Every structure is written in structure tokens, then in C-alpha cells.
Amino acid sequence: MAIDFSLSPELEAIRCRVRSFVVDVIKPAEERLEADDVRESDRRAYYGVLLDLRRQAREAGIWLPHMPEEWGGMGLGHVQLAMVQAEAAKSSLGPWVFNCQAPDEGNMHTLLHWGTDDQKERYLRPLCEGTSFSCFAMTEPDVAGSDPTLIQTKGYQDGEEWVITGHKWFVSNAHRAAFAILIARTEDDPDLPQAANTAFLVDLPQDGWTEVREIETMHGSTGHSEIVIEDLRLHESQMLGGRGQGHLLGQYRLGPARLAHCMRWIAQAETALDMMVDRSLHRYAHGSLLAEKQGIQWMIADSAMELYQSKLMVLHAAYKIDRGEDFSAEVSMAKHFVANMLNRVIDRSIQVHGALGYSTDTPLAHMFQHARWARFADGADEVHQMRIAQRTIAAFRDFGSTRSATGNLPI
């Protein structure tokens, strides 16, 4: 078997094109927006700049890297996508500018795989065109989001309609979304507990769907909404996938979506490590530069090794997705590892920067606030650990070796 980490000339050209676009076009715009505080002072101007960046990206052929060409995308496989996402996320605006940001990106995959032709035209097409936004409503305040068999939002059938009542929260993007993918319990006595839920497409705004508030989080109030659903009526044609397929659909969505998060987190961690090294080469204390001190070198070395591990894990999981192999174990391990690596590397970088790292004069403080959610959203650490341990124990029981549960690699 061939193990080849080099890029084809075509892919290398794409990667360079994305990198140049981020450095030459997005970053300067981002810096101007930040310097003038345009996001807070003039929302209209802010979105005007973002939309203009999108137009330029599309003209440059960097648009929808995760989607097939027939949907206007770049037609990349997941390994190739890893390169592009990791370049795009060097700027916090990059994924949005290239229209591959969460949760739209995961919703596009979901619609492509599960949508009927009509649903694709109505919901997927505008997402791909960049003329609409979407959200995914699964988590509820009253039951553990880690266990979707507990979902209480309930739907019953009334003729050709489904009537849904429930309570959701942390619905990212709901405030500006043109539609939601909503997960509700429709089956009272399913064969499997996981087969109780069904997904629906909800046009927004709509009677029966009320946004109570945008939840203020540790990085401010940034578009995660609490939603009360009361007698929401949906025609049966709004069902996405079949009855009781909600859990399967969620799992299908989360595989590539979790890995895409990892690709973007790698970019963030690399930025933090670059900053850590840069600072250590310029800060002088107790007779030498910080870069010459063993305590600082250990932080740099640990971060470099963890970033390397993260990249290998992401590439291998992406490779398995591309080959149509079962990727759940690898994506789960990558999601857990990369999320924690990101938090550790940013934290070390803040440490090396001292008070400056704690200030908002560098992006590190903001990055740290954002990074914290990575350890529980889209699968909490402990739940991934539980599944990884279950798979490892089962592998030993079934095959007398844990090898198949550690990536099933040929070493």
C-alpha cells in the first residue's frame, strides 16, 4: 500500500491560492474591521465588507471547498479539504468567506445525503449560492445533550401535518437562519432507543417557533439561540430522511462536521504556536531570550508534538472517510484530541506572552474563550472517551488485540 503525504501539483496550487487569498485579501480586511471596530459600530458596513470578500472568493474559485462541483463547490475529498480548511481558518473570517463555516457546512452535507430532490433545490441550493443561512436544533436545556435518546421535543401526526412542541437551546445561527433542521421525538416505542427521533426542515420565521433570546456565553452573545417550539405545524414533506432516522442523520452529519472543526482548530493552534515562538524569540529575561530557556522550550516542544499528532489523526480520519471506510472511531479520537490540544496550545501561548497574552491586544485571549466550547460541543470529551474505551475493550474481546481500535494501521 502507498503512504504518500505529498500533494499533487494541482492540490498544492489550490492550497497556495487559498493561503494567498487569506493573507492578501481577508487578513487586511479583518485588520481594518477590527481597527475601526466596525462590527460593533456599523453592522451594515461590516456585512458589506464580508459580502464583498465572499464575492471576491467566489471569483477566485475558492468557494464551497466541501461540496461537489455540480453544487458549485470545489469537489475536494476530505484529505484535500483538510488542507484547504486549515488554510482558511488562519483567519477567523476565512471559513465564512469561503462558505464552509459551521453549522451551514454540516447542514449542506446532510441535505446532500438525505434530502429529496425538492428539498435540495429549496434548501441546499440557496445555502450553496450563499443567499441563505441555516441552523441545527437538537440540544435541549432540560435533558443531557450528550444523550439524544432523552430528547423531549415531541411530534405527533395530524393528517398530512406533524405538530411539534418542545424547547431547544444553543441553536447556533438561528437568529439569521432561513431554515432549521429540527430533531424531535416521533416514535413512542422504537425497536432501538436511538430510533425515536426524526429530523424536520423548518422554514424561518414561522408560527410556533419563538426565539426567546440569544444566549450570552463566555465569549459574548454570539448567535446561539434558545427556542421555544409550540404547536409548530409542518407538512409531512418537511421530514428530512425517514421516520426514526434522526439519530442516524445526526451521526452522519457529525462525522465530517466534527473533522472539519478539527481542521479549523489545527489552524488556530498553529497560529498560537507561531505566536508563542515569535514572542519567545523577542522577550528577554534573566540573562537570555525566553526561547533559550528550557521551561519555555518544553512548552514549545509539547505544542509542536501535539500539533503533529493532531495533523496525522485528522489526515488519517479524512483518508478513511474518502475511502468509504468506517471512520467513527478515528473521527471520535481526533475530535477529542484536537479539541484538547487546541486549549493546551493557546493556554501555553498565553503563558509565554505573560500579561500581554491575558490582554486583548493579541488575539490569544479571544481564541482561548472560543476554544473552550470545543471540549463539549459536537460530542463532549467524556462521551468520546466512553465510546473509545468501549471500542477498545470490544476489539480486545473479539480479536484478542486492541489494534483495530487504535486506527487499525499497518504497524
Ligand X SMILES: Cc1cc2nc3c(=O)[nH]c(=O)nc-3n(C[C@H](O)[C@H](O)[C@H](O)COP(=O)(O)OP(=O)(O)OC[C@H]3O[C@@H](n4cnc5c(N)ncnc54)[C@H](O)[C@@H]3O)c2cc1C
Binding site for ligand X (CB under 6 A): 103, 135-139, 144-146, 170-172, 224, 373, 376-378, 380-383, 386
- Name the residue nearer to ligand X (CB basis): 73 or 145: 145
- Name the residue nearer to ligand X (CB basis): 319 or 376: 376
Q: Under a CB-based contact definition with an 8 Å cutoff, are residues 364 and 346 in contact?
A: yes
Question: Could you tell me the smallest distance in angstroms from the CB atom of residue 17 to ligand X?
Answer: 30
Pairing of strands 220-235, 161-172: antiparallel
Question: Could you tell me the smallest distance in angstroms from the CB atom of residue 224 to ligand X?
Answer: 5
Question: Could you tell me the smallest distance in angstroms from the CB atom of residue 225 to ligand X?
Answer: 9
Give the ranges where 283-363 is alpha helix by DSSP (H): 294-322, 328-353, 355-358
Q: Can you read off the three cell numbers belonging to residue 17?
A: 491560492
Question: Could you tell me the smallest distance in angstroms from the CB atom of residue 242 to ligand X?
Answer: 20
Go through 36-52 and write b for each residue having 16 or more CB atoms within 10 A of its CB, e for each that does not.
eebeeeeeeebeebbee
347: CB partners within 8 A, 6+ apart: 368
Question: Could you tell me the smallest distance in angstroms from the CB atom of residue 170 to ligand X?
Answer: 4
Q: Count CB atoms within 10 A of the CB of residue 382.
A: 12
The whole-angstrom separation of Cα 155 and Cα 153 is: 7
Question: Could you tell me the smallest distance in angstroms from the CB atom of residue 177 to ligand X?
Answer: 10
- Name the residue nearer to ligand X (CB basis): 135 or 307: 135
- Name the residue nearer to ligand X (CB basis): 181 or 273: 181
The whole-angstrom separation of Cα 332 and Cα 255 is: 8
The whole-angstrom separation of Cα 84 and Cα 98 is: 10
Pairing of strands 161-172, 179-185: unpaired
Query: At residue 311, what are phi and psi to the nearest 5 degrees?
Result: -65, -45
Question: Could you tell me the smallest distance in angstroms from the CB atom of residue 173 to ligand X?
Answer: 7
The whole-angstrom separation of Cα 164 and Cα 197 is: 12
Q: Largest Cα–Cα distance in the chain? A: 80
- Name the residue nearer to ligand X (CB basis): 93 or 151: 151
Position of minimal CB gap to ligand X: 145
- Name the residue nearer to ligand X (CB basis): 115 or 379: 379
- Name the residue nearer to ligand X (CB basis): 97 or 183: 183
- Name the residue nearer to ligand X (CB basis): 137 or 352: 137
- Name the residue nearer to ligand X (CB basis): 110 or 172: 172
Please state the length of the chain. 411
- Name the residue nearer to ligand X (CB basis): 138 or 259: 138
Question: Could you tell me the smallest distance in angstroms from the CB atom of residue 254 to ligand X?
Answer: 9
Question: Could you tell me the smallest distance in angstroms from the CB atom of residue 205 to ligand X?
Answer: 18
382: CB partners within 8 A, 6+ apart: 146
Q: Which residue bears the cell 441545527?
A: 136
Question: Could you tell me the smallest distance in angstroms from the CB atom of residue 307 to ligand X?
Answer: 23
What are the Cα distances from residue 92, in Å, to 1, 86, 409? 38, 11, 34
Of 132, 72, 135, 145, nearest in space to 107 by CA: 135
**DSSP code, position 35:** H
